[in-house]
Chains A and B, each alone.
Chain A
Amino acid sequence: MIVLQVLINGLLTGGIYSLISVGLALILGTMRIINIFHGELLMMAMYLTYWLYLYIHLDPYVSVLITAPVLFGFGYVMQRVLINRVLAQPEVNQVLLTLGISMALINLFQLFFSPTYRQVRTGYSTAVLAFADVRISIPYTISFMLAFAFTFLLYSFLIRTFPGKAIRATAQDRQAAVMMGVNIATVNAISFGIGAALAAAAGSLLVPIYYIFPGVGFPFAIKAFVVVVLGGMGSVVGAALGGIIFGVVEALGSFFISTRYTDAIGLLIFIVILLVRPAGLFGRSRV
């Protein structure tokens, strides 16, 4: 029974991992760039959610409606102003640029808002649903369902709308997309904005169940990197499934081995899978 509990916890956490990873995969797919400061987008959204709760008592789940658009704008501008300038450069420069932004953001928040851990405790933060021995956290469940909904929304956007198709086309063949009349600069900036908005949504969803501090994003980003590699070449669907799998595996691992190694277990599993399937678990997909 307790294993079932562990499985459910892993699944629920995995939903958040999916949401973070999907945005990263979108950026990686369209621009072939690793966004090291993806976790800091999440962190900023968490702070924003925290302040919204503190000053205008906005529920963290409702604040997604603010954090996602704000971070979309931030991502859009960052892409236009900074990222766009290194897209044609060697990858070491791309990595270092996003790394530099990551360092600057973490330390900027540390400087202005101190490294103190903060938290938002809503009325439902500790609420659980109990089925026999299995207890399911209500905020985790809400976060999971919303994460799932956002991922599905992204999927529909990519499959059904013209801008979504343009993003996929760009990821699959940039030159051909240009010939079709796609403005690559806009597609890149929008993809980055969407990636940032998804990270922001994940950040807001994490607030009721997690701590907020300047370095909070980085471990999540590392997990998302792993998930994206697992999911295969910038595949959004792969990243969504990979996130869930990662959450479950991590939960099982820390249950059977030790919670102290929670963060290392996921990464180790990743390395093992890499040995077996270096191209990722799922191969190529539509999005």
Chain B
Amino acid sequence: MKAASLSRRSAGRMQGRRFTPMNLLITMPLILLLLLGVPWLVSSPYFLDIVILMLMYMLLGMSWNLLGGFAGQISLGHAIFFGLGAYCYGFLINQHLTSVWIALASGALAATVASIPIGILCFRLRGPYFVLVTLAAAEVVRILAVNLVDLTQGAEGMVITPAFGISKTPYYYLALAFVLLELITMVVLCSSRFGYYYMAVREDEDTALAIGVNPLIHKLWAFGISAFFAGLTGAFYASYRHVIDPSVVLSLERSVDILLGPLVGGIGTLAGPLVGAVIMVSVNEGLRSLLGGAYLVAYGLILVVIVLFFPSGVLGVTQRFFTREAGGEAGKADEAA
């Protein structure tokens, strides 16, 4: 809720009394306390694993959302950065080159560095063509990862020395810290002038250019920051799961998973990826245990249903019920088409 109010503020729409700074001051520590206590509340490793998964998808969702939601560049290749972070981490750890922390940071930085040439290339295209080229770029990276066996161990996958032992608790706190870091980054970005630049670029690139906002520079910034967090999440994933292979960390399915959270929660809102990650991971796990092999069919159908019936995401739907401005931002996004 807190984040939802911020998103609306970032769009230049102060909404109301419910989310005053005073309220935030009281609710924030409460939420934080609750989050810190999760490992005690959730004793089963299976459920803690699911919670960590949710945090991971929050990280990835927010990362995708910065580019896709705020800057309006729909990427179907975000797994590139996730996979790059994971492989970078795995390589550094397995070769005993750096400590875990430096490896994590390197994963994030490698993704950021890679985002610059990839961005310069992909941003030459707009609209549907941009979507296609990100998809193609991700395929290239995946095929490279499968074939560069010396670096990646190819399709067999890379086994990585565990970083923090077998308990899931440290990973939970690490992921939580990353989520907070990314959330704060997003809030700061969106309330700064960069947030407005991104939105200007999303709404109309030519107009943005005309008023002195260079779309390419701002798209590259958004891409870089987005890649940083996707890479960080990839590195984290590698440290947590110990095994990575191209079909898991670099597949199109991964890219789709990444954008499902924001899609379900509400694209272009701060809270959307958070809410969406919780819903999608729950639904995913539920379907998997319920349907077994058929769950991917259901997954695809759910995608179809969301697009057809809830095109502005869960937050879009609830916003319609709870705010006077029916459809608010979601409606605006529809018009932008």
Instruction: Using CB atoms and an 8 Å cutoff, list the residues of chain A in contact with chain B.
Output: 28, 32-34, 82, 85-86, 88-97, 99-108, 110-111, 218, 222, 225-226, 228-229, 258, 260-261, 263-264, 267-268, 270-271, 274-275, 278
Q: Which of B74, B299, B308 contacts A92 (CB 8 A)?
A: B74
Are A111 and B121 closer than 8 Å at their CB atoms?
A: no
Classify the secondary structure of A's interface with B: helix
B residues 315-337 in Cβ contact with A at 8 Å:
333-334, 336-337
Q: Is B56 an interface residue (CB 8 A)?
A: no
Are A104 and B304 closer than 8 Å at their CB atoms?
A: yes
B75 to chain A, nearest CB (A): 10
B331 to chain A, nearest CB (A): 11
Are B125 and A274 closer than 8 Å at their CB atoms?
A: yes
Q: Is B131 an interface residue (CB 8 A)?
A: yes
Q: Is B31 an interface residue (CB 8 A)?
A: no
Chain A to chain B contacts (Cβ below 8 Å), 22 pairs: A33-B128, A34-B128, A86-B311, A90-B311, A91-B337, A92-B267, A95-B74, A99-B256, A99-B303, A101-B304, A102-B300, A103-B300, A104-B297, A107-B299, A222-B136, A225-B135, A226-B132, A229-B133, A260-B147, A264-B143, A264-B144, A264-B147
Q: With A100-B300, A271-B133 in contact, do A28 and B128 touch (Cβ < 8 Å)?
A: yes
Q: Looking across the interface, which residue of chain A has its beta carbon closest to that of B295?
A: A107
Q: Is B140 an interface residue (CB 8 A)?
A: yes
Q: Which of A32, A102, A222, A228 contacts B139 (CB 8 A)?
A: A222
Query: Across chains A and B, which 5 residue pairs bring their CB atoms closest together, nearest first?
Result: A100-B303, A104-B300, A103-B300, A107-B296, A264-B143
Q: Which of B143, B296, B300, B334 contacts A90 (CB 8 A)?
A: B334
Across-interface contacts of A28 in B (CB, < 8 A): 128
Q: Looking across the interface, which residue of chain A has its beta carbon closest to that of B76?
A: A95
Are B124 and A278 closer than 8 Å at their CB atoms?
A: yes
Across-interface contacts of A263 in B (CB, < 8 A): 139, 143
Are A89 and B137 closer than 8 Å at their CB atoms?
A: no
Are A100 and B302 closer than 8 Å at their CB atoms?
A: yes
B329 to chain A, nearest CB (A): 12
Are A91 and B131 closer than 8 Å at their CB atoms?
A: yes
In addition to A103-B303, A267-B136, 19 A-B residue pairs with Cβ atoms within 8 Å of each other are A34-B128, A34-B131, A89-B337, A90-B333, A92-B68, A93-B307, A94-B128, A95-B74, A96-B306, A97-B307, A103-B256, A103-B297, A229-B125, A229-B129, A264-B140, A264-B147, A270-B133, A271-B133, A274-B125
Are B296 and A278 closer than 8 Å at their CB atoms?
A: no
Q: With A89-B334, A222-B139, A264-B139 in contact, do A97 and B124 touch (Cβ < 8 Å)?
A: no
Q: Is B127 an interface residue (CB 8 A)?
A: yes
Across-interface contacts of A278 in B (CB, < 8 A): 124-125
Q: With A104-B301, A222-B139 in contact, do A85 and B308 touch (Cβ < 8 Å)?
A: yes
| A97, B302: Cα distance in complex, Å | 10
Chain B positions 142 through 164: 1 when the CB is less than 8 Å from some CB of chain A, otherwise 0: 01100100000000000000000
